[in-house]
Amino acid sequence: MARIINKDTTVCMSLSARPGNFGTRFHNYLYEQLDLNYLYKAFTTNNLKDAIYGIKALAIRGCAISMPYKEACIEFIDELDDSVKSIQSVNTIVNTDHHLKAYNTDYIAVAKLIEENHIDNNTPFVLKGSGGMANAVIGAFYDAGFKNGIIAARNQTKGEALAKRYGYAWVKNEQDIAPEQAKLIINVTPIGMLGGAEANDLAFPQSMIENADIVFDVVALPVETPMIKLAKSLNKIIISGADVAVIQALEQFVLYTGVTPSKELVKQAGDFARQG
């Protein structure tokens, strides 16, 4: 049965400088399969303040927030969830009776993956990157009790600031890190991303991937980046960006609708979202 948009349709949205299709396809697929009177649409803006206030004024139920608005939107929010308080980065806004509450479902997703993969918090790790997603990832590891970490980032200002916030070390080049300090390696850069300038590159040197026990790449497309492919061939424990993308989108879906889809339906929605 085809869904018909009407005056009672609940609208959700995303806000990004460069809107993509993953969230739009994921959410709308589930709305259709579950026969929910919801609609999801991606937007960008040149006026963040009015865009956020518009969410409240127009009774938009939920909004996914992407770069470069993750930190800047906080001043316009009524309430911060614990997932935002520690990292000061937002990727989800929920509007309940014109009260805006901010969450970070990337943080929630990474925290769940740490738990599901039974990663010992004594494991020394290296995280490569210093952007908004790096903040969510490093915050989740910090709150899970990981003490022995290194931030590898070419941007010294952002890299040092991120490391200092959580009490980790900073290096400019990951190749300067001793093998025993990198049993868990985490890529939070666009290296390996489909369509990017470095789509065919390894995010870490091959020797570091060979030495690591656990390899985590937040790049969601392709599902298997060059680093993930190599780690898989070496029988490493793998966490992929596809895992993060689906879990965080599911967390948003539940926050917006109050409905928890079946695991099979979530898998179908993730597969459908990656095709567009």
Quick check: helix, strand or coil at residue 41? strand
Burial 115-132 (b: 16+ CB within 10 A, else e): eeeebeeebbbbbbbbbb
Regions of the chain with pLDDT less than 50: 1
Quick: pLDDT tens for 9-53: 999 999 998 888 999 999 999 999 999 999 999 999 999 999 999
> Which of the following is catalytic: 49, 70, 85, 229?
70
| Cis amide leading into 205 (omega within 30) | no
Q: For the chain, what is the mean pLDDT?
A: 94
Model-level pTM? 0.90
The verdict on whether 41 is a catalytic residue reads no
CA angle (154 as vertex; 149, 159 as ends), nearest 5: 45
